[in-house]
């Protein structure tokens, strides 16, 4: 591939959700029935999406969003980037999914 050439890859994503990986590691999961599931995995299962660009929606765990709340994970819905959500550990799955646009 030539240096400096930008390539475009097609994606089926209609939206995306960013989840802070640092917050998730601090909680050591924190979600699901036993409290061991990460928020990103919980969202993927709840939205019925898989990893990759062929899914309808993307859930991406990013390095750090810089907020660092206690006992919560920072989440950003790509459809509403003006609202950053602090999801407390053990939050109800249906409640978390209801906060996302077009969930």
Kindly tell me the sign of the dihedral angle through the C-alpha atoms of 7, 12, 24, 28.
Answer: negative
Query: What local confidence, expressed as pLDDT, does residue 1 receive?
Result: 55
Q: Does some domain include residue 2? A: no
Q: Does some domain include residue 68? A: yes
Q: Does some domain include residue 21? A: yes
Q: Is the pTM of this model over 0.85?
A: yes
Q: How many domains does the chain have?
A: 1
Q: Does some domain include residue 83? A: yes
C-alpha triplet 38, 93, 96: angle, nearest 5°? 95
Instruction: Report the alpha-carbon distance of residue 78 to residue 16 in Å, rounded.
Output: 5
In sequence order, the β-bridge partners of residue 58 are 16
Q: Does some domain include residue 53? A: yes
Q: Does some domain include residue 40? A: yes
H helix or E strand, kind and range, residue 25: helix 21-27
Instruction: Tell me the per-residue pLDDT of 74-91, one tens digit each, with 9 for 90 and over.
Output: 999 999 999 999 999 999
Q: Does some domain include residue 10? A: no
Instruction: Tell me the per-residue pLDDT of 23-60, one tens digit each, with 9 for 90 and over.
Output: 999 998 899 888 899 999 999 999 888 778 888 889 99
User: Which range marks the domain in which residue 38 is found?
Assistant: 15-98
Query: What local confidence, expressed as pLDDT, does residue 22 receive?
Result: 96
């Amino acid at each position: 591939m030539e240096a400096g050439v930008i390539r475009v890859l097609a994606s089926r994503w209609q939206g995306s959700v960013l989840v802070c990986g640092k917050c998730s590691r601090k909680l050591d999961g924190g979600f699901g029935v036993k409290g061991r599931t990460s928020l990103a995995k919980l969202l993927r299962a709840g939205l019925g999406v898989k990893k990759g660009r062929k899914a309808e929606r993307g859930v991406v765990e990013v390095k750090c969003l810089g907020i660092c709340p206690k006992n919560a994970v920072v989440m950003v819905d790509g459809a509403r980037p003006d609202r950053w959500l602090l999801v407390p550990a053990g939050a109800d799955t249906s409640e978390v999914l209801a906060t996302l646009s077009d969930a």
